[in-house]
């Protein structure tokens, strides 16, 4: 392997992330002309065009897309070497980038992190909340080390371990006694509340109501889980949430927790991580800690 490849791949990775030579140069603390020259050299060494100019930013060619996993692996190898030989922090030092769906981040993840941090007090941890699809994509692109999502994908490159069995309930104003009451004209003003558009939990309720013939209900994205609970308390609508999350946050007095029909009720939380990263000692330690904590 040409030594220049090892030097130029991190530059390529920054350009791919920013879609802009100037921003990549700023991130690398160098000048744009140097970045441009490094990308040109990399393309010449590989005999392929890696980037083309799009409408608003530089875009990866098919060859550039194929190169991305190698650049990401090199970045991970560099991070792992620093963890291994960082004598200031000791063998337990390093950092982990963790993603989780919001309901898990606000409940069970706290316990898992506490257990891991007690054994690895020098590890820096950052948590990013988001939806399942976006989190899984971030893991595949090495933007996150590990994530907790609401369903498996079957992606061969991922290790997917079930962490939690949970069930969905519909949080509703106390005046609602069952989900079929949503067909009653007296409750016509109740909306279906979501944190953000595209929530898979809420989609189950929508499909169920459609199945039993309840007229279409508009959805209202309120942005936060706290906003969803507050909106239900204010009588604005109903919200689908995991039972364990509601038990952990409380604040549901005078509200009804209506069970979802059995067909739509079960939800499973999975830990996902790229398989090739598991030899990384710190990441493997976190995965094993989570699996052990989930069993307890």
Residue 172 reports pLDDT greater than 70: yes
Beta-strand relationship, 266-274 and 158-173: antiparallel
Cα of first residue to Cα of last residue in the chain, in angstroms, is: 47
Residue 253 reports pLDDT greater than 80: no
**Residue 66's pLDDT is what?**
87
* CATH number assigned to the domain with residue range 166-266, chosen from the 4 options 3.30.465.10, 3.40.190.10, 1.20.1050.140, 2.40.30.20: 3.40.190.10
**Residue 89's pLDDT is what?**
44
Q: Does domain 3-68 have CATH number 1.10.10.10?
A: yes
Write the CB contacts of 45 (distance below 8 Å, at least 6 apart in sequence).
Answer: 2, 4, 5, 8
* DSSP secondary structure string for all residues of 50-104: -EEE-SSSEEE-HHHHHHHHHHHHHHHHHHHHHHHH-TTT-TT-EEEEEEE-HHH
Query: pTM of the full predicted structure?
Result: 0.71
Q: Which of 175-179, 217-221, 271-275 has the lowest mean pLDDT?
A: 175-179
pLDDT digits (tens, 9 = 90+) for 263-294: 999 999 999 998 877 767 788 889 999 998 87
**Residue 183's pLDDT is what?**
80
Residue 93 reports pLDDT greater than 70: no
| Tokens of residue 214, six digits | 């309840």
Q: Which CATH class is domain 84-165+268-295?
A: alpha beta
| Tokens of residue 173, six digits | 């104003």
Averaged confidence pLDDT in the chain: 87
Residue 43: pLDDT band (50, 70, 90) is very high
Structural domain spans, the chain:
3-68, 84-165+268-295, 166-266
**What number is the average pLDDT over the span 176-181?**
84
Q: Check for a shared fold between 84-165+268-295 and 166-266.
A: yes
Residue 90: pLDDT band (50, 70, 90) is very low
């Amino acid at each position: 392997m040409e030594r220049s490849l090892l030097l130029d791949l991190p530059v390529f990775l920054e350009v791919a992330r920013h879609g802009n030579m100037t921003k990549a140069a700023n991130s690398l603390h160098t000048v744009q002309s140097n970045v441009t020259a490094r990308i040109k050299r990399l393309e010449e060494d590989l005999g392929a065009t890696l980037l083309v100019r799009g409408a608003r930013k530089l875009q990866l060619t098919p060859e550039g897309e194929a190169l991305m996993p190698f650049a990401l692996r090199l970045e991970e190898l560099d991070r792992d070497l620093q963890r291994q030989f960082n004598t200031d922090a000791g063998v337990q030092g390093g950092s982990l980038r963790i993603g989780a769906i919001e309901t898990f981040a606000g409940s069970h993840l706290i316990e898992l992190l506490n257990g891991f941090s007690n054994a690895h007090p020098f590890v820096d941890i950052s948590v990013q909340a988001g939806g399942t699809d976006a989190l899984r994509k971030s893991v595949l692109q090495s933007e996150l080390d590990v994530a907790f999502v609401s369903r498996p994908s079957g992606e061969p490159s991922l290790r997917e371990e079930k962490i939690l069995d949970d069930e969905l309930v519909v949080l509703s104003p106390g005046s609602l006694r069952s989900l079929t009451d949503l067909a009653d004209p007296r409750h016509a003003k109740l909306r279906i509340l979501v944190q953000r558009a595209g929530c898979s939990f809420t989609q189950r309720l929508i499909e169920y109501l459609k199945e039993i013939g309840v007229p279409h209900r508009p959805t209202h994205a309120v942005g936060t889980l706290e906003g969803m609970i507050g909106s239900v308390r204010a009588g604005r609508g109903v919200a689908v949430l995991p039972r364990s999350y509601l038990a952990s946050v409380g604040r549901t007095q005078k509200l009804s927790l209506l069970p979802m029909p059995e067909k739509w009720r079960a939800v499973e939380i999975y830990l996902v991580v790229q398989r090739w990263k598991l030899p990384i000692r710190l990441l493997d330690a976190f995965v094993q800690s989570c699996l052990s904590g989930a069993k307890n």
